[in-house]
Amino acid sequence: MKFYRIIFLSIIFSFTSSYFGQEIDSSKVQHLKNVYSNLEYNTIAFDDLKGKWQITDPLLIREIFNRFIVNDAVRLNSKELLNDSLRILSRKVQTGDIIIDLRKRYYDDEIEYFAFLPVEELDKENPKYFIDPINDGFYLKKILGEELYLKVKDKGYFFYDITKDVYQSEVGYNFDVNLSLFDPYVMFWSTTSNFRNKYLLSLFGKWGENYIFLPGWFSSDYILGAKLNFRDVLTQDPNNYMYELAVGIAVPAGKPFTSVLPSKSILRSGESIYFKISGQPLKYMNVDFDKFFVNLEGMFTVTDYNRSDFKPKAVFEFTSIRDYLVFKLNKKDLFNLFDFGQFEFALGVSTHSIFNYIVDPASANLIDTSPKTDWTNKFSHFVFSEIGIEKRGGLMQYSLSALFGQNIVDDYNYVGVNARAMLSDTFGVEMKYYTALKFDKIKYPYRSDTYFVFSPIFRINY
């Protein structure tokens, strides 16, 4: 019995000693903090004159947070964190939802306040910190290292390969013009929130549709319209957006080369409208689905031309692709293909309507000679797949992809190559080449067994 009593008293003594020891240690720590803060020259009356700014670039924030981890400086409520907790915090940093809030001292421009914050906590009177803030510039310098500390203190950093503006200004694209025959655009308005995202509004053009295998000048419709582009994180990749909405109209397009056109012309038969919805909806549910794009675009003819719109001198026939719809799933940056670039893959389906008309000066309206009278039966469908690589950054940027499409209604197929090369992301060239593996020219006189188009590119972006 005495033995158990001794054990019981020992446990109580150990617990009591530990508890009071912790209380003593906590009181000592708080006392030292008070002593240190009292040594600091208090400049609270000058708070409105102190330099304040935020770092919003996700790559720089990752680098800084990693310095905190490496130097064992991550604290939450004055406590060290275990590896599992650090992994959870790191994943939150990777989502881009964390910013850094900074303030300089009044009298010597050293950093007196450095805090990781969730974006929604910025400008709150009592924010909930992501980790404990740093209120000592010398300790911060020890964590970051001399070089990185000076860059942060002097704001001597620029956004990564996108802009020459420092972080606290409107980061990202300030001016972006892409001149080409196939996909030109001119960004004419942009806005940046207080954080890291950006909205871009542009005028755009589009000539041809790759996924119905009618590229460039083989199409009689040139799309003109406006598009809204939203980016949650600004990067050097112009295609890395969260969503994009585009609307436009089709206008008549000429053909710079006529020697390789099919025997039967493809012409417009009415006024058309265009739309496109593209984005990364799965990323809203899980950040691991990064760069998984869902695309839906289409063109629909909403009016009908009559004979007076053609002013014919004689009877002639033509084919009209009045409508098309494309649905594509695209995964970019699947893996790094050595030094060649990032591998990407796409799958999709497309459909387009085919109408045959006769224009007769004796008839006021176009004469539809299509053998299929039902509108829904006039559609021809492709199933397509595409693989490619894309290299961004450096002196030379390029993308190269192989495209295969099988027509499941008319039983013919195409294979092709889309290529684009840019020098310093300013001067370049783009080409598309498609050839049919199984094709009957007599049965499909409006189609060509080979398509080849190209365009120079000139881009201005700063």
Q: Which of the given ranges, 248-257, 279-288, 345-354, 436-445, has the highest pLDDT on average?
A: 345-354
The β-bridge relationship of strands 272-279 and 243-252 is antiparallel
Q: Which residues contact 75 (CB under 8 A, 6 or more apart)?
A: 81, 131, 132
Q: Are residues 13 and 94 in the same domain?
A: no
Single residue among 154, 187, 202 that ends a domain in this structure: 154
pLDDT of residue 460: 85
Say how far apart CA 207 and CA 180 lie, in whole Å.
10
pLDDT of residue 17: 47
Average pLDDT of the chain, as a whole number: 81
Q: Are residues 18 and 55 in the same domain?
A: no
pLDDT over 90 percentage in the chain? 34
At 186, the amino acid letter reads V
Q: Are residues 149 and 190 in the same domain?
A: no
User: Would you say 234 and 159 are in contact if contact means Cβ atoms under 8 Å apart?
Assistant: yes
Q: Would you say how long the chain is, in residues?
A: 462
- Domain carrying residue 58: 46-154
Q: Are residues 254 and 379 in the same domain?
A: yes
Q: Are residues 134 and 203 in the same domain?
A: no
Alpha helices in 232-311 (DSSP H): 281-285
pLDDT per position as a tens digit, 373-386: 677 788 999 999 99
3-state secondary structure of 22: helix
Say how far apart CA 184 and CA 393 lie, in whole Å.
21
Say how far apart CA 244 and CA 438 lie, in whole Å.
36
Count how many Cα atoms sit within 13 Å of the Cα of residue 342 in the half-sphere of its side chain: 12
- Band (pLDDT 50/70/90 cuts) for residue 300 is very high
Residue tagged 């203190």 (tokens): 153
Domain for residue 407, yes or no? yes
pLDDT of residue 417: 97
Domain for residue 161, yes or no? no
Number of structural domains (the chain) is: 3
At 257, the amino acid letter reads F
CA-wise closest residue to 101 among 49, 37, 154, 168: 168
pLDDT per position as a tens digit, 201-226: 999 999 999 999 999 888 989 999 99
Supply the pTM of this predicted model. Answer: 0.65
Higher pLDDT, 145 or 18: 145
